[in-house]
Amino acid sequence: MVTGAGGFIGGHLVADLRRQNYRKIRAVDIKPLDAWYQRFDDVENLSLDLNVKENCDTASKGAGEVFNLAANMGGMGFIEKNKALCMLSVLINTHMLQAAREYEVEKFFFSSSACVYNGDKQTDPNCPALKESDAYPALAEDGYGWEKLFSERMCRHFREDFGLHTRVARFHNVYGPWGTWRGGREKAPAAICRKVIEAKLSGDLSIDIWGDGNQTRSFMYIDDCVAGVQKIQNSQILEPINLGSSELVSINHLVDIAEDIGGVKLKRTYDLSAPKGVTGRNSDNTLIHHYLDWEPGTRLRDGLEKTYAWIYDQYGAWRKAGMPAGAGH
């Protein structure tokens, strides 16, 4: 059973499970079925609000394995302005853990985030990569990060106190096709691809960048994320572990790559008042490589090419449907 299955990562996970010939898959999301990014007719698709305990019971009954990806979240523009809504996701994971215990689920995976890390360790764009231990002493991203950190602890205590098999991965900036690319919840790679595409097609060769562009991140392609989730779920890794690329880039360099893919050069303006998150964040992959002899390896350029191509098609179809230029912002 996959929660958040109508969303970006959940939809890709369901698709991958189908490719592996899993025959009994339950997909759950709060969105109406026609609003899911990916939906498959040979899957049990349920539209349920998992903030409600009874719906978590319905979703979990009969499930042997749970991937809990459901959450209220989005890019930095969303999580900085919706802290209460992000924190309310604690209801989802709490109720899902209770249901997993009650219905004797064999394996439970929780998707945490690099937003759990101590903010004081992310003030330098050239910061050293974040080790798992850097989550403590706790100073998580306000709202979203604190909810994820608390839910990590819930998973740990359900494992220690009740014997529930729980695994936790801290996602670092997942991107790729079949995800949010406009409307306010999109993350930096999708937003930048859309802005480059719009500038190229409109002839207005300019781009607005949040912050000064020097802030750094690593970005993990969706295929690596889906593979890593399943490897961690089936591992003996008990503590929360990083799941992210170690390829550190600045936002300016991310724009460079998108411009190169689009074959265009844009005039840049910097909005220093816009949400920009921490100054520097990267994934230290020492532990995942130690445990699994593996780490996410898709080059940013390769993954962004696929993402750009998909958003280009989506943008064209969206404009053909009569949406005005600039409405994607």
Q: Which residue has the tokens 């759950």?
A: 28
Give the distance from CA 183 to its chain's centroid.
16
Query: Would residue 221 show up in a list of annotated catalytic residues for this protein?
Result: no
**Beta carbons of 110 and 171 less than 8 angstroms apart:** no
- Is the CB of residue 148 less than 8 Å from the CB of residue 73? no
Report the SS3 class of residue 46: strand
3-state SS, residue 51: coil
Active-site residue, from 37, 103, 117, 144 = 144
Distance CA 189, CA 140 (A): 23
Q: What is the DSSP string of 197-221?
A: HHHHHHS--EEEEES-S--EEE-EE
> What letter would DSSP give residue 283?
B
Helices 8-19 and 222-233: crossing angle in degrees, nearest 10, is 70
Q: Nearest Cα to 81, choosing from 214, 274, 213?
A: 274
Residue 33 CB coordination number (10 Å) = 12
Contact, 130 vs 145, CB < 8 A? no
Which residues touch 203 (CB under 8 Å, ≥6 apart)?
none
The Cα 259–Cα 40 span in angstroms is 34
**Residues acting as catalytic residues:** 144
